[in-house]
Amino acid sequence: MKLKVFLFSILTVIVLSGCLEEYGSVFVTSTDVMYSQDEGGTKLTVTPYIRNDKDTDTGILTTKIKIREPSTNLIIAEKDSDIGYIKSKSSTFSSVSLMVSEPGEYIVEVQLLEGGKVLSQSATPVTVKAKPGPGTPPDIKLTDMTIVITKLLNDATVAVVEVSPGLYNQGGDSNPLTLEVTAQIDPYNTYIQSDTLNIIKSEGRVRGKVTFTIPRNREYSFSVKVLENGRVAAQSKLLDKVKLNTLKYNEPGTYILVEEGKPIPAQTPTEPGFPAVAALMGILLVYHIISRRRR
């Protein structure tokens, strides 16, 4: 009887201490930084992409952005931003603008917090260049992608889908560009559409548009390439797959584009869930052995 009480007490302590919480994490997958010349300096637009891999929604999240000058290790700009909560198994992003006085090398630090507790943090080196002069090559960035169903066909089994990636040129003037968008179900079912864009001036923003006619009841991975004179000038993909049958007719949605090749950090559990469960199973096994011996 005393042994049973002892084991029950251990189990209660483990549960109340949160050790049996789910295995998963909330983390910053990557950070995009774009810059543009502004009066009195250069404006940095910092966009952290955040993933909730847990089986439950998060609480209210906050991002803390700092711009650090490596040569002096001084923080020259910082800003906090409330981003609300993230649903289970989904992603979001939030952009913050900060000013630096002159071109140079900087470190962009991002902290993700929930209730004052740091969940994830990252540091991204950034080179801010002076205002582009004549002959400066373009520097094309893909910013985001809007997706909207404009028409339903064949008893709503097929959708006409408009996909519009946003582009920003933080370098010199570009040549004419070709936008290539891929919607992929699997390696054997891939759809590709392209759009010809005009020259994008320095610090110019445009939005391309392609149209797909594709099966509606499927899940798609979207990716984008920007070609200049046959060379890949930019390449990005959506962080999450898109289920077309969850999209509402004629209501555009905006999705996260992440530069191809950017690593997504390895997921690490924020709670010691599995070790606690293993320890509990070990205790119960010992209890079972002792009980059999007493019999």
Q: How far apart are CA 57 and CA 54, in angstroms?
A: 7
Q: How far apart are CA 39 and CA 41, in angstroms?
A: 6
Residue 188 lies inside a defined structural domain of this protein = yes
Residue 271 lies inside a defined structural domain of this protein = no
Residue 41 lies inside a defined structural domain of this protein = yes
Q: How many domains does the chain have?
A: 2
Residues 178 and 241 in one domain: yes
Are 219 and 205 in contact by the 8 Å Cβ rule? The answer is: no
Q: Among 86, 115, 131, where does a domain finish?
A: 131
* Interval 33-69: pLDDT, tens: 888 887 778 899 998 989 899 999 999 999 999 999 9
* Interval 157-204: pLDDT, tens: 999 999 999 999 989 999 999 999 999 999 999 999 999 998 999 889
Q: How far apart are CA 58 and CA 20, in angstroms?
A: 17
Name the average pLDDT for the chain. 83
Residues 116 and 220 in one domain: no
Instruction: Give pLDDT, residue 135.
Output: 82
Q: How far apart are CA 268 and CA 23, in angstroms?
A: 9
Residue 226 lies inside a defined structural domain of this protein = yes
Residues 210 and 236 in one domain: yes
- pLDDT over threshold 90, residue 257: no
* Interval 138-157: pLDDT, tens: 999 998 899 999 999 999 99
Task: Please report, as a single letter, which amino acid is at residue 46.
Answer: V
Residue with tokens 């992409």: 49
Residues 143 and 252 in one domain: yes
Residues 71 and 127 in one domain: yes
Full-model pTM: 0.66
Where residue 39 sits, what CATH number does that domain have? Answer: 2.60.40.10
